Amino acid sequence: MQLAPSILSADFINLQRDVSALEAGGADLLHVDVMDGHFVPNLAFGPQVVQALRPITKLPLDVHLMMSHPEAYIDMFAAAGADTIMVHFESTPHIYHALQLIAQHHVKPGVVINPGTPVDALKSVLPLVGQVLIMTVNPGFGGQAFLPSTLEKVAHLDQIRQTDTTLTFDIEVDGGINDQTIQQAARAGADIFVAGSYIFGGHSVAEQITKLKGLIE
Ligand SMILES: O=C(CO)[C@H](O)[C@H](O)COP(=O)(O)O
């Protein structure tokens, strides 16, 4: 079980301070949301931010590309220091190629599905990925309510990897993860939990991380 705070909810003027607090507070990964204003109706971060984060933290950088034609930018994010690069199944007709490209950079490849996309759509790419991210909200904004209907997709995916032991991906969930929802996602089979507004919305990030980890360990 790993917790991946999303820096989308951080204080951007004090990003280094916030990243240090997350690391000291027990975060396992740092989740970086990239948004292009096209695939999702919002803009956030680019490879320069990943490059700036790389020397200031030992935490693995979990980069979530919410952008059209992500294959054109994979080289940049790999060179910037991403440890995982995740691309949306819905974002490109060349999903297989995009995942191959990520692996060629010796970066962990991940595929992401929106709430409306079924798990079965992923069948042909599951052998290529180290991580599958199930969006538990519509992508684009922090602070949205968790969609309970996504839990059966987590459970279905967990069943697939238990049935076929050649598949070795982790299951990540992202959106609306808080002290009311994290246990449901864990019970359904998720291994990695992205949380933004819950972690940054409390008294201290360390306290919020401890609360969430206490619920899944
Ligand atoms: O991918 C995202 C938005 O598209 C964010 O990572 C996600 O929404 C996390 O924020 P919160 O925990 O506030 O829901």
How many angstroms separate the alpha carbon of residue 45 from the centre of ligand 1? Answer: 14
Q: What is the pLDDT of residue 174?
A: 98
Which pTM was predicted?
A: 0.98
Which residues lie below 8 Å from residue 131, measured CB to CB, with a gap of 6+? 84, 86, 108, 109, 110, 111, 169, 170, 171, 172, 192
CB 173 within 8 A of CB 185: yes
Per-residue pLDDT of the chain (217 residues; tens, 9 = 90+): 999 999 999 999 999 999 999 999 999 999 999 999 999 999 999 999 999 999 999 999 999 999 999 999 999 999 999 999 999 999 999 999 999 999 999 999 999 999 999 999 999 999 999 999 999 999 999 999 999 999 999 999 999 999 999 999 999 999 999 999 999 999 999 999 999 999 999 999 999 999 999 999 8
Model confidence pLDDT, tens digit, residues 145-188: 999 999 999 999 999 999 999 999 999 999 999 999 999 999 99
Which residues lie below 8 Å from residue 47, measured CB to CB, with a gap of 6+? 73, 76, 77, 79, 80
- Which atom of ligand 1 lies nearest, measured to the CA of 140? 4
Token match 């949205």: residue? 144
18 is catalytic: no
- Catalogue all structural domains in the chain, each as residue range(s) with its CATH number: 2-216 (3.20.20.70)
Beta strands in the chain (DSSP E): 2-5, 30-36, 43-44, 61-66, 84-88, 108-113, 131-135, 170-174, 192-195
Out of 174, 197, 198, 200, mutate this one to test ligand 1's pocket (max ligand atoms within 8 Å of CB): namely 174
